[in-house]
Structure formats: structure tokens, C-alpha cells
Structure 1
Amino acid sequence: MDVPREPPAESAESSTTSAAERLLRAWREHGVEYVFANLGTDHAPLLEAMARLRSAGESDAMPSVVVCPHEFVAMSAAHGYTAVTGTPQVVLVHVDVGTQNLGAAMHNAHRANVPVFVAAGLAPVTDSGYLGSRNHFVHYHQDVFDQPGIVREYCRWTDEYRPPADPADLVARGLERAQDAPAGPVYVTATREALEARFDDGELDELRDVTSAGEPGPSAESVAKLADAVSAAEAPVVITGGTCDPERLVTFAEATGAGVVEHASTRVGFPRDHPQHLGFDPAPTFERADLVVLASVEVPWIPSRGEPTPETTVVQIDPEPTKRTFPVWNFAVDERVAADPGETFDRLVEALDGEQAAGFAFAELAEQRRAERAATLESHRDAGALTPEVATDVVNGVVDESTIVVEDAVTAMGALREHLDVPVGDGMLSKGGAGLGWAGGAAVGAKLARPDARVVSIVGDGSYLFTHPAISAWLSAAVGAPTLTVIYDNGGWNAVERATLSQYPEGVVENDGLPERTFDPAPALTAPAGIVDAHTAVAENEAALAACLDDAVAAVDDGSPAVVHVRLDERP
């Protein structure tokens, strides 16, 4: 291995491989389909390696490169793709400044436990004499003391590629750490000089496998103890965050009469038309529940809104039950089982062997919830108000079994969950964290992952502006991944006003309002999509929305991105 001081001669190129090329080949061999890239001067060795592979007719030996004009969109797109496929993708960004632009998107992948391999260049470390040495004043500005420190808290692992190590080993290690529980982003850096390191082709080892122990299974002792708890329970409840295998959860619920609550879920964790689905807020179940099972849920309940009684047994089944990525996690748990919930449910059903004969204790609560949902929708329609509930019911008309809904509408989140008939799994994807704007890039990533799916992004007007909407629309068109974006416009930051009123219910804001939550003048929200030939429309009532959606779906099916701006009314 040698780090060349001068560009390698043609004869050397034919018998040596650069570290950059080795990285590209290793990513592809380990299943990476795409590098979502925002490029900079630090990527010159990677770009030259890509050109060499293309020139040699070996384009298939490296991932496809998706050029993303903003890092936040790139990371969100990789997040969306990975959430659908389960296979980590690569995000390539530019030194410290590009890393900073990942920002909230790294937070989202971190909190959603989505594995993404992030690679960033470093400022060159030599002033001159080496291939890749500093040749611009910006290389001095970009040299910082701890570049990985910008995102370290959001990563499962960080490292720097340092010759003479084999870059392929770095790739394997990174992918293993990204996918181990709790899964999440990893971050790797390299200088230009390091990426131009050369390896004799005859001395390169075969790529090692990416291995994983998988999520642990429950012990026989744990299964026996849980089976006793379930047998004794008359009103069991499962709270899931959406990552537990839905089919196994259904089998367990039906065998035990357990109600199921999805709380702060990132995916659809239980069929929403199932009679044992108890909605999205566990608090109404706590008065009666005598057993609460936490199945891979990050935030099981909000204590200020209600929590299990002291007499209720709380069992946690989770591959990583201590939640080491959360500084504060003070939820009272009686029994922790470090295991995959799906496998544990299978073992429990087998252990119970029909012994649990109790019926569904929450049938009345489930029926009441369904009746309230229908009554709310009817009252809004009777008032002629285009509320999030009514708008979502209309959007539901363009949703089918192949649809993926990507949601980022904070104050309409409840309406989306209650009124969209989406399939389990990736029928609805949520960002997991608090980084608004995720849906724009994530929708494109989801469409790349499932080209035959109809991908519908539903965002609030505030969230939409955070998506870098012009870039998201451009990316959708550029990669041939048309998505339908539906903007729920309530005139500004409604969530901010709600939070203020919640904290100060009798404060001045209650009487005087909050002008800071309003976007004034009102932005033309469909304008950014004009950067490409996107279909756009504005709807101000239910009939208009239905017509706009029909036209937008036709445009998307024909290959064009579409944006529908929905002007919402206040809830009556």
C-alpha cells in the first residue's frame, strides 16, 4: 500500500486500486444501491474512482449516485429508502459544513432507529507534495478539531479511514454497527490523501461478510414468567411503537384478548381496522388494564397525561430495553425482557396453548373510540369545514394497499392515523424524531425503494417549508420518482400556539392570540415546485380537494411530481 505523492502512472493504475474505489466496490457488494450525494472538493478521489469504473464498463460495481442539492434532503431520502427496504444506504456529504447541514435529518434517523451509512470528507492534512494536498484557502477553513463531534451523539459508531487499513473492513464494520440494536446512523470520515491510497490488486483480501447476531430471543425462564402473567391477566394491553412484527402481534392479541395501542409509532404496527385496535393514546386503557406489555416502544406513554396504576404489572419486551440513547427514561417497568417481541409473542402463544380464555376486555372502549371518530368527522362535514379530519378522509380515497403515506403534519397527526386506511408495515412512515421537513426527501427515497407504489407525502405548511421544497421537487423529477405532496395549510405554526396555550391556558395568548405563529404574508406554497414541471393545485373546500387529488394522482401516475395545497378551516 502506498499514498502517492504524484498522480499514478497509467501502468500503475492497471495494477492498483485506490481506497476510494475499494470503498465504492465494498458498498455495492454489501447491498448498497444508492449513494445520496452532496458533493465537495473533498470527494475528488471518489469522483475519479467513479469515472474510472464507468470508463472500464464497470458501473454496476458501484452504487448509483443520486445528486442531492441539500444534505438534509439527501439524508431524509436515504432514511425513507432504508425504512422501506431495511437495507442501509449511503449519504455522502462535504466536510464539516455538509455534516452540519445533515442536522435534524440525523436526529430523525437516530430516533427512528433507521440505519444509514454517512460518509464525509475531511480537510486535507498535508500542505503540499501529496496527491490531494491542500490547494485552496478553503481547506484551511474546513479543518476543525473534531468533525465527528458534530453528529457523534446521533450515531451508533464513528471512525476515520486511515491507510494502510483496508477500506472494505471499515464498510463492513460500519454496516454491522448501523444495524445492531438499536439501529441507527454511522459516520465515517476520510481525507483526500487517504482516499487516494493505493493497494496492489493481487494483495486485496476477499470482502468479509457483514454479520449480525440478530435480535436476541427470550429465555425459557422469561417465557414461563410472562406466560403466567398473561394467564393471570383479565385486561392485557400491548403498547407498540410499530417495529414489532404485525402478524405475530395480531396472533398474540387474538390468542390473549389483548388490546393494542400504537404510541409514537414510526410504522403501522397493527391493522387499524382490527376490532382490538385501541388507537394511539394508551391513557384511556390504564384505569382498567391489569397487564401492560411494552413491545419495542420508545416512549410508552406521557406521564402527565396518564400512566398505569401502581397495581398494574408492566412488562417490557425489547431488544434494547434500557434505552441507552435516551438520557431520561423513567418509565416504571416490573419485568424487562431483552428479546425480539415478535419471537417472544410466538413463544408465549405456544406456551399458553389455548389456556388464556378471557375475552376482549376493552370492546366497549374500542367501540366508543370508533363512534367518536365517526361523530367528529360527521360534525365537521355538517359545519362545512375543511378540517384535517375531513381532508384526510378525502385523501383516503386515493390510498390503496400499495400506497405509502409519508407523514409530517404535527397537529394533523391524529387525523392521519384515525382516518387513513393504510396497510401494516410501511403503509405509513413517520420520522420518529422532531426534525420537521423530513417528508420531502423521505418520500422520494420511498418511491425509489418501491417504484410501483403510490407515495403520498402529507405535511403541514410549516413542515413543508422545512423540506427545502424546491430541492425535493427537483429531486423527485430528476430521479424519476414522482410523489404526491399534500400540504395541510393552517396558516403557520399551529403546534407552537397549541403548546403555548397548553402551558398558559389562562395567559395573555388565550385572549390576544399569537401573531408569531402566522406566516404573514401567506406564502405561495406551490411556487417552489415550479422549479420543475410539477403539477400543482390549490383546494379550499372538500369538493375541490377531491377533484384536485384526482388530477394530481393522474399526473403522478404519468410521471410528474404533484403538489396540492389544502387551505384548512379551523375545527368547529
Structure 2
Amino acid sequence: MTTIGEALIGLLEAHGVDTVFGIPGVHTIELYRGLARSRIRHVTPRHEQGAGFMADGYARASGRPGVAFVITGPGLTNTITAMAQARADSVPMLVISGVNALGSLGKGLGFLHELPDQRGMMEKVALSSRRVTTAAELPEAISEAFEILATARPGPVHIEIPLDVMPLPADGMEPLARRATPDTPDEAAIAEALRLLRAARRPLILAGGGAKRAGAELKALAEALDAPLVTTTNGRGLLFRHPLNVPASPSLKAVRALMAEADLVIAVGTEFGPTDYDMYGDGGLVLPNNLIRIDIDAGQLVRRPAAVSVRSDAGAALARLAAAVVGGRGSSAGAALARATREAAWAEIGPAMQAQVRAVETIRDALPGAIIVGDSTQPVYAANLCYDHDRPGGWFNAATGYGALGFGPPAAIGAALAVPDAPVVCLSGDGGFQFTLPELGAALDAQAPVIFVVWNNRGYREIETSMLDAGVEPVGVSPVPPDFVLIAQAYGLATQRLQDVSSLGGALKKARSTGKPCLIELTVE
């Protein structure tokens, strides 16, 4: 007899899942029954929040949904933070949890790990939450989950299976085919967008995370229009070192000036969130009147109305537009504008942040094509303002959007397992690293060759600076860090201790040559 738990594993395999992140418990034992015999790799984090962040990093690096198995109650509540980060950053994640027996739900009888309304809680965070109560419902639930993740703005999806449902018979279960594909662009919207493009004399393109897998189409349109391209944090890596590229935050005055001078702005896969467009909270962002928006999410298009809204996958819409304006303007004015904006943005961030960006550039240049996964730490904040990466989708962090500390280490593990041929560097501060420090053990278990770089300035220095700027005497911003090198060695990781950024490039190359997880602690003032 095949149980529902065993059938679940087969259905996940059929949908292309090769890795799940989770901590087994008495409420998920039946979900693990078929796992050892499957082709799916199981990775055990040290905390369920780590499972969620690993699934997030796996998804961002690969473009495929990250999958987490967690127990009911505390396992799922521990995962909520990671799910919220994934929702904020449009990351496809499938969380499969247990839940107590059907007959006990909602009765408050005091069962182990009981929540008043687990699914109701999930519906507030996930794009969708579904409970499976019979074997017949399972293929539909799995197919629906992957359909949501593939055909709309991604985010976390939740499926729960009650304890007394997991062991039910489920023989002969076949996966259901996906019933939908991403929508093609509306012809009328494309025609109107083309009319505006042909009339524009100073066009500008804004690209967010929704465009990171449409680099070729974006390049074709930018060159055809001779339009500077501004990339948000999650769009970095697009058009690396291209003359039209402006890898700088729209929160900077230099970039806002470029936006104000444009007579047409094409915004692709970006929600105009304040952590990208108004991170200083000065209210200085003014959306242009002549705006074309391309986004896969209809709800997002409604929130920020535009002259033309194109609901579409970024690549499909950009390809249509680029093909229709092929031939270009034969001008280099766009490149000159982009260069001037890059130079002004670099000057605007000032010497201290420039030094921190150069540290990030050291990582990029020492390990070409690396995936750099950041936490909320000073060099990450600085690079989010002004930094060009050499791999689309290869620069991501939790310092925008939801902003969860502790994201970096587990997300980097997920990324390393998703793209094993790429160097993966986790750049975290000493404060944030302590949130998920035990995941060093998970990296060793999984032999995920992450290079953990700890930027140790002995405290929450970004918060301390903000307190001082606000005239508040700093309190609670100097937690004493442990000896990260000794802790990493206790887990069995190779380590290096640095006192100067100038040594970082060589240390990274040495760490990469081992092919194993390593830790580099860099002490900075």
C-alpha cells in the first residue's frame, strides 16, 4: 500500500523537486516515509526559519520553487518570517506542514503543537493555504500550488496535511498536468506602449527583480531606445558594465534627477517599494506622469497606476516591444546620461560607503560569476545604493522589502545547493550572523561550499548610526560577538581571520579552492 505521505514525495518528484529543507518531527514522520527511497535530497537546518530561508535562497538562485517540510505549530510559526520575506521579494516557495488530526481542529483541546487556526494564520502570509483531507485531493493541491508559483507573481504557498490523513492509502496516484501558462501581453496595451515609445525622446527603463531573467530582452529594448537602465537591488547584474546601465538606487538624488528628466519611463518587474525608491523616507519619489508598467501581477499594476499597464511576464512583453522598435535611434545620448548619473551617484554616497562598496567589488572580482547573498549589514546597504554585479540574480539580500535579519547564512546554503557550479558567498554582519549562526552545521552536513564572510564591527552599527542621526543615545546596539572563527572550527569548517579588506581577495580564492564551506572573519572599525 502507498500512503498519502509516500504519494506526496512522488508528486513532488514529478513536478521537478530535487531538494527539500526541513526538520522532521512526530507530526511529519509519515511525510518522510517515502523520502529515503526517492531522488529528492533532504537538507536539515538547525531551525525551521533556516528551512524557509534555505528554500528562499534555492529559489532565487535557480528560478525553481524552494520547498520546506515543517511540523505543525512551532515549526510553522518559526517559518513565517522566511515566508514573509519571500512574499515581499516575490520568491516562489512551497511550505508543506502537518496539522493535528481532523477531529481535533479548532476545538482547543490542548494537543501537542496545537494552534487555534493554523490555516487561517497561513492565509494571512501565504498566497494560498490549502488543507488536504483525502487522497483524491492531493494531486490537485500539488498541481494548484505549482500553478500559482508559475503563472503569477511568486511568493509562498502552503499545504497542510492532518496527522490522521497522512497514512491513508493513496495507490496509483498520478500527477495532474499544469493547466495554465503565463498570460501573453494584451495586444491593445502593447500597441499603446509602442505609440508612447516611438514618441519619446528621453526614455528611461527601471528594472526590478521581476526582470532578472529577461536580460537579453531588456538589453535589446534599452539599445533600441538608447535608454538608460536603472536597476533596483533585485535587478542588479542585468547589463553588467553596459554603457546604458545605472546600477544605483532610485532613492539617490542623482537617479531621481534622471527619472525627472525622462519624458517616458518603462518600469519592468518593480513595485516601487520604499526600500528601493525612498529608503531615506524623505518622500522625494515622484512617479512620472508618462509611465509604462510591465508586471505579471494585476494587483500590483492597480496599486501604482500608469499611462499604460501591461500584465505579462517581463521577457514576453520586452521581446514584443524590442522587436517593434528594432533599428534604434542611432544616438549615444543615453549612454552619456547613464555615465553622468553613475558618476553622480557614486559621489553622492560618500567616501565611507564607497569603501564598503569596494569591499563588495573585491568579492565580485576575486570570484567572477559568484552569487553574493547578503544580510542586513553595512557593506550590503552601501552596495544596494550603488553597485554593479556580474551575474543577473546573483546579488540578493534581505536588506530591502521585509528586511529579516539572519537571512544570509541559510539562504546562501540554499543557493549553493541550487547552483553547485557557482561560487556562493554569504556576506553578513556579526549581529545578523548570530541570528542563524547554527546553520554552519547545516552547511557542513550538506557539503554546501558557501564562503561565509562575517563583517565584524562588533554591533549593530547601522542602527547605532541611525540613532545618533536622530539624536537618540544608542542603547542595545553593541551585543558582544563570539569568536566566530572558533565556533566555525568547532563545526569543522576551515577558517581565516582578517584584519584588513586588502587581504579579502586572496582569502576568498583560497577558500574557494577547498570546495567546502569556509568562514572568513573580517574585523573592521
Pick from 281, 284, 290 the counterpart of residue 306 of structure 1. 284
CA distance in 2 between partners of 1:559 and 1:566 (Å): 21
What is the SS of the residue equivalent to 1:462?
helix
After TM superposition, the score normalised by the length of structure 1 is: 0.81
1:182 is displaced (CA, Å) by 1.2
Q: 1:393 to 1:337 in 2, by over 3 A?
A: closer
Q: 2:253 maps to which residue?
A: none
Q: 2:26 maps to which residue?
A: 41
CA distance in 2 between partners of 1:309 and 1:25 (Å): 48
Q: 1:386 to 1:180 in 2, by over 3 A?
A: closer
CA distance in 1 between partners of 2:152 and 2:332 (Å): 33
CA distance in 2 between partners of 1:169 and 1:176 (Å): 10
Q: Does 1:293 align with 2:261?
A: no
Letter in 1 for 2:51: A
Q: 1:174 to 1:393 in 2, by over 3 A?
A: closer
Letter in 1 for 2:56: H
Letter in 1 for 2:2: T
CA distance in 1 between partners of 2:227 and 2:419 (Å): 33
Q: 2:517 maps to which residue?
A: 561
Pick from 96, 114, 117 the counterpart of residue 146 of structure 1. 117
Q: 1:67 to 1:522 in 2, by over 3 A?
A: closer
Q: 1:447 maps to which residue?
A: 416
Pick from 333, 354, 364 the counterpart of residue 306 of structure 2. 333
Q: 1:480 to 1:80 in 2, by over 3 A?
A: same
CA distance in 2 between partners of 1:316 and 1:234 (Å): 18
Letter in 2 for 1:257: D
Q: 1:299 to 1:376 in 2, by over 3 A?
A: closer
- Answer with 1 or 2: which has the greater Rg: 1
Q: 1:421 to 1:224 in 2, by over 3 A?
A: closer
Q: Does 1:537 align with 2:496?
A: yes
What is the SS of the residue equivalent to 1:266?
helix
Letter in 1 for 2:522: V
Q: Does 1:225 align with 2:192?
A: yes
1:41 is displaced (CA, Å) by 0.7
Q: 1:518 maps to which residue?
A: 478
Q: Does 1:22 align with 2:7?
A: yes
Q: How does 1:15-414 map to 2 (within 5 A)?
A: 16-50=1-35, 54=36, 59-60=37-38, 63-125=40-102, 140-199=111-170, 201=171, 204-214=172-182, 216-244=183-211, 245-263=214-232, 265-268=233-236, 270-282=238-250, 283-299=256-272, 301-302=277-278, 304-308=282-286, 312-323=289-300, 331=304, 333-354=306-327, 357=329, 359-371=331-343, 387-401=355-369, 403-413=370-380
8 Å contact kept, 2:185–2:312 = yes
Letter in 2 for 1:558: T
What is the SS of the residue equivalent to 1:95?
coil
Q: Would you identify which runs of 4 or more consecutive aligned residues in structure 1 move more than 6 Å? A: 373-378
Q: 1:234 to 1:489 in 2, by over 3 A?
A: farther
1:419 is displaced (CA, Å) by 7.5
Letter in 2 for 1:207: P
CA distance in 1 between partners of 2:109 and 2:408 (Å): 33
1:441 is displaced (CA, Å) by 1.0
What is the SS of the residue equivalent to 2:260?
coil
8 Å contact kept, 2:295–2:310 = yes
1:478 is displaced (CA, Å) by 0.5
CA distance in 2 between partners of 1:499 and 1:426 (Å): 29
1:336 is displaced (CA, Å) by 1.5
8 Å contact kept, 1:377–1:390 = no
What is the SS of the residue equivalent to 1:388?
helix
Q: 1:126 to 1:317 in 2, by over 3 A?
A: closer
CA distance in 1 between partners of 2:517 and 2:204 (Å): 42
CA distance in 1 between partners of 2:355 and 2:109 (Å): 51
CA distance in 2 between partners of 1:220 and 1:522 (Å): 57
Identical residues among aligned pairs (%): 23
Letter in 2 for 1:483: V
- Unmatched 5+ stretches in structure 2: 251-255
Letter in 2 for 1:88: P
Q: 1:418 to 1:287 in 2, by over 3 A?
A: closer
CA-to-partner distance for each residue in 1:258-306, whole Å, 9 max, x for gaps? 111112x324352231111123223131331111111010226338353
What is the SS of the residue equivalent to 2:210?
coil
Q: How many correspondences in the alignment?
A: 509
CA distance in 1 between partners of 2:429 and 2:375 (Å): 7
Q: 1:556 to 1:281 in 2, by over 3 A?
A: closer
CA distance in 2 between partners of 1:254 and 1:360 (Å): 10
CA distance in 2 between partners of 1:192 and 1:293 (Å): 50
What is the SS of the residue equivalent to 2:27?
helix
